[in-house]
Structure 1
Amino acid sequence: MTGVTQKTLGRAADLLTIPEVVERARQTLSGDQWDYSCGGAESETTLRRNRTAFAELAFRPRVLMGAGQPDTSATFLGRLLALPVLLAPVGSIATFHPDGALACARVAADAGTGAFVGTLSHPALEVVRSGSTAPLFFQLYVYGDRGWLRDLVSRVEAAGYQGICVTVDVSAYGRRERDLHNRYFPRQSVERPNLGASTDVPGMVHRDAYNAALTWDDLAWLRGVTRLPLIVKGIMSSDDAAIAADHGVDVVYVSNHGGRQLDHALASIDVLPEVVSAVDGRAEVVLDSGIMRGSDVVKALALGARAVAIGKLMAWGLSAGGEAGLLRTLQLLQTEMATTLTNLGVRSVSELHPDLLRRVSPSAASAWPADL
C-alpha cells in the first residue's frame, strides 16, 4: 500500500487486529445500524454458513520452500491490484460514511485495489469516478426498461468506469428480520442519484419487479449494447456459471449476497470450485460473502478466485475510523495474507492451488459475528 503512513491512518493506526475493527464499529454504530450491517435473511442460516464453510477448509502447508516476503498482488480484468480485495457494492454505504461510495473509491486508490459503485449508492456515479483514480466497476440493478437501462449504461461509459456488474440475485428483496423487528428501512430514506428522475422511488416495489423479470435474453441484449467488460454478480451454481460464460461474460461473481437474500443457501466458498470448473478459463471469477480474514482471501484464491470482495467488513472499517479505518482494515487483511502465504510456503498468489487445502470438520461453532 504505497504512501500509507502512521499520519495517513491517524487514530486508526492503533487498530492491530480485524476483531478490534469490528468492535470499534459496534461501539460507534447505533443498534439499528449495527443490526443492518451484520444481519442476514430470516434465520440467518446462510449468514452463519458463510463463516462455517471457511472454517471447514484447513491449510496443508509446505516447508523449506524459501517463501521469503510474498507478493500479494494479482491482476483483475488486466489491471494490477496490490491487494486482490475489492470493495463490494453497498447501496446504503452512506449510512456508514457521509461521502458514501466516494469514500470507498478514495480508499481503494490508496490501497491499490478497485471498488464497485452501486446503483443505489450516493453520491452520483460521475462524482465518484471523478474523485478517485482507482479502477471502478458500476454495479447495476435493473430498475427500468431497456431504454432506461441504455441511458444508465451510457452514463457509466461516459464517466469512465472499467466495467459493469449486473446483480442477478435480488428478484425479491430478502426478509432481513433484524431490520423488520427494528422497523428500520434504510432503502426508503437515502438519496439515490444514480436512478434518475423518472423512476418510481418510494418503496421500490415497482422497480424490484424489473429485477424479478430478468432473463438470459436481457443479459445477451446488455452484452450487445456496451463495450465495457461485463460482470454477473450472484452466481451460485455451475449451471449458471457455464451459461454466463457462454454469453460472453467477462467475470463470474460468486455471491449469496452476504447471506442477506436467500436463507438456507449454500456458502459462496463451497460453490466456488464448481464455478471455476464450469467457467474453465473463459471468464475470471470473483467471490464475496463471509470474507473476514486474510486467510479467507488466501483460501478463495487457492480455489480459483481471481479476487474477493468485502461488504460488511468494508462498512465496519468505515464505521471504525472513516476512510483511515477502512484503509487500516485493508492493510490488516494484506498483513494477514502475507503471513499466511509465507507459512504456506508460497511466494505469490499465483502459486496458490487447491492442493494446499483440505476439507475438515469445523473446530468450534460460535455466533456471528464473533466467529471472525
Structure 2
Amino acid sequence: MPAVPDRRSAARRSRALAPAQAGLAAHARRAGATRGRPARRRSIVSFRFVTQPEIRREARRILPLEVWNFGDGASETELTKKRNRQALDRLAIRQDILVDAREIDTATTLCGVPLSWPVVIAPMGGLVLFHEEGDVEMGRGAERADTLQFLSGATGWPVETVAAASKGPKMFQLYHFGDRAWVAELLARVEASGYLSVCLTVDTQVYSRRERDVLARWSPREAMKKAPNPRGPAPDYPTRLTWSDVEWLQKTTRLPVGLKGVMTATDAKRAVDMGVRIVWVSNHGGRQLDSTQASIDALPAIADAVGDRADIIIDGGFSRGTAVLKGIAWGARADEHQASDVGLRVPRRLELSEIRDEVRRCPPAWGAARRADTAGCP
C-alpha cells in the first residue's frame, strides 16, 4: 500500500501542481462546453492516482463533455471500438510455472531504435483540447516513461517545437493533408528535427461520422483551430492516395517509411514487398470504419505475411500489461498506448508507470522471463 502523505506534504504537492491545474482549467474554459457538463476547476492531487480507472474518472469529471467524448468516442455505433477490447479479453493466457524471474527483460527495438519496453505513445490529434502544451507535454511524459513518442500529423505544434522540448526518441505519423510539394517540405523539417521514421496514415481517406460529436453539434476541427500550428492546406487530399504515393514517399524521405492502418495480410505483403519498414496494424481505435475487424484478430495473418521483413506495431484496446503481452505473443514488435485522458504530466507518468509494471509482471506467470519468449503464449 502507498504511504499516506502527511498534511504538509499534501500542501506542498498541491502548490506544485497549481500551474498545471490552472492550465487545465483555462483550456476547459476555452473548449467551451455549451452542452452537458460545464467546465469546472477542481483540485488534482497526484498521489491519489494509483490506477488507470481513477485517472479516467478524474478526466471525465474535469473535461468539458464534448472534449471527453472526442477523446473517448469512436465512429457511428462504436462497434469496432468495442470489438477491439472484447477480442483482447477473449484471449486466454496459458500459465506456465517455475521459471527463474529474478531478471525480467522487456527490451525490444523499433526500426533499430532500442526500447526498454514494448509500448510507445500513439499519435493523437487534438491534444490542444486537453492541455495547453499538448504534444509538447506528451513528449516530456514519454521521455520520463522511457519510451518513444509518435507525433501526430494533426499536431497543434510545429514539429521543431515538439522535438526540442524533450530528449526521448520520436517518430512521425503523416497525414497527407496537402499536395506532394507541401508534404516534401514537411518531411524535410521532420528529418531536420531528428525524427526517426515516418508512418503514412492510410485509413482516413474520408473523415468518419463520429456520432457523439454530431449529437453535440460540435466540430473538433473547428475547436482545434486555436492550436498554434495549423493543419495542412488540403484536409481532403487523402481521398486520392494510392500505392504510387507510398513509392513517392519512399523516394522523397531518407527516413524509414511505415504504413498505419493495415488490416489485411494482402496489403501487408504488398507493403513489405515495396520495402515498407513498419506495418502498423490499426483500425484507428474504431474511430474510422465502423463494424470492421478487431486489430488483434487481424494480427496473426499479417504477422505471417510480414515475417521478419518489417516491424509490426498494433493498436486498438491495449490499455493493460496483459493486453500488451498478448499483442507481442501474436506477432507485434510494439503496442501503441493512447494516453490523452487528463493531459497532466503527473497522471500521465503514473499511468505509463502502471502499464510498465504490469508488462514486467506478466512474463514470469507465462513461463517467460524475456519478452522474446512470450511468442505463442496465448
Give the CA deviation at 1:208. 3.5
Q: Distance in 1 between matches of 2:236 and 2:68?
A: 29
1:279, distance to aligned residue in structure 2 (A): 0.7
Q: Which residue of 221, 226, 229 maps to 2:253?
A: 226
Instruction: Give the aligned partner of residue 41 of structure 1.
Output: 75
Q: 1:331: Cα distance to partner?
A: 0.3
Higher relative contact order (CA 8 A, sep 6+): 1
- Name the CA distance, whole Å, in 2 between partners of 1:111 and 1:84: 12
1:194 Cα offset (Å) = 5.3
What is residue 12 of structure 1 aligned with on the other side? 46
**1:80 pairs with one of 114, 121, 137:** 114
Offset of 1:79 from its aligned partner?
1.8
1:57 partnered with 2:79: no
Q: Among residues 345, 352, 364, which one is paired with 1:330 in the alignment?
A: 352
**1:147-166 to 2 correspondence within 5 Å?**
147-166=181-200
Question: 2-side partners of 1:348 and 1:13: how far apart?
Answer: 31
SS in 2 for 1:285: strand
Which of 341, 349, 353 is residue 375 of structure 2 equivalent to? 353
2:27 corresponding residue in structure 1 = none
Structure 1: distance between partners of 2:365 and 2:54: 24
Q: Which amino acid is the alignment partner of residue 355 of structure 2?
A: L
- CA offsets 1:36-75 (integer angstroms, 9 cap, x no match): 1111110111010000000110000111122234222221
Q: Distance in 1 between matches of 2:235 and 2:267?
A: 21
1:91–1:119: 8 Å Cα contact kept in structure 2?
yes
1:1-372, aligned counterparts within 5 Å? 11-191=45-225, 199-200=232-233, 207-311=234-338, 314-316=339-341, 318-319=342-343, 322-354=344-376, 356-357=377-378
Cα pair 1:62 1:344 within 8 Å, conserved: yes
Contact 1:114 1:134 (8 Å CA) reproduced? yes
Which 10-residue stretch deviates more, 259-268 or 86-95? Answer: 86-95
Between the aligned partners of 2:230 and 2:250, the Cα distance in structure 1 is 21
Q: Which amino acid aligns with 1:179?
A: D
Partner SS for 1:189: helix
User: Cα RMSD (Å) of the superposition?
Assistant: 1.9
Q: What's the offset of the Cα at 1:105? A: 0.8
Tell me, in whole angstroms, the C-alpha distance in 2 between the residues paired with 1:28 and 1:85. Answer: 27
- Name the residue aligned to 1:365: none
State the AA in 2 paired with 1:228. Answer: L
User: Normalising by the residue count of structure 1, what TM-score does the alignment of the two structures yield?
Assistant: 0.87
Deviations 1:324-366 (A, max 9, x none): 1111110000111122222112112111112x11xxxxxxxxx
* Deviation digits for residues 149-200 of structure 1 (CA, Å, limit 9, x no counterpart): 111111111111111111000011110000110112121232465557xx54
CA contact (8 A) 1:284 1:306 kept: yes
Structure 1 window deviating more from structure 2 (75-84 vs 55-64): it is 75-84
Structure 1 position 13, deviation (Å) = 3.7
* Identical aligned residues as a percent: 38
Kindly provide the CA deviation profile for residues 123-172 of structure 1, in whole angstroms up to 9, marking residues without a partner as x. 21100001111111111111111111111111111111111111000011
Task: Give aligned pairs, total.
Answer: 338
Which residue is 1:361 aligned to? none
Q: Distance in 2 between matches of 1:133 and 1:219?
A: 29
Distance in 2 between residues matched to 1:54 and 1:129, nearest whole Å: 33
Cα deviation, residue 209, structure 1:
2.8
Q: Report the residue type matching 1:330 in the other structure.
A: L
The answer to whether the 8 A contact 1:119-1:194 is kept is no
**Aligned with 1:190: secondary structure?**
helix
Distance 1:93 1:101 in 2: 6
Q: Could you tell me whether the CA contact under 8 Å between 1:72 and 1:334 is conserved in 2?
A: no
Q: 1:342 to 1:21 in 2, by over 3 A?
A: farther
| TM superposition shift of 1:261 | 0.4
Note the residue ranges of structure 2 that are not aligned, 5 or more in a row.
Answer: 1-8, 18-43
Answer whether contact 1:119 1:195 (CA < 8 A) is retained.
Answer: no
1:278-328 per-position Cα deviation (integer Å, ceiling 9, x unaligned): 1111100000111111111010011111111122xx011x34xx0111111
- Secondary structure at 1:59 match in 2: coil
Distance, in Å, in 1 between the alignment partners of 2:258 and 2:138 is 20
Pick closer, same or farther for the CA change 1:303–1:349 going to 2, 3 Å. same
Q: TM-score when scaled to structure 2?
A: 0.86
Letter matched to residue 302 of structure 1: A
Q: Which is worse superposed, 146-155 or 14-23?
A: 14-23
SS of the residue aligned with 1:315? coil
2:34 aligns with: none
Give the Cα separation in 1 of the matches to 2:155 and 2:289. Answer: 22
Query: Does structure 1 conserve the Cα–Cα contact (< 8 Å) formed by 2:135 and 2:156?
Result: yes
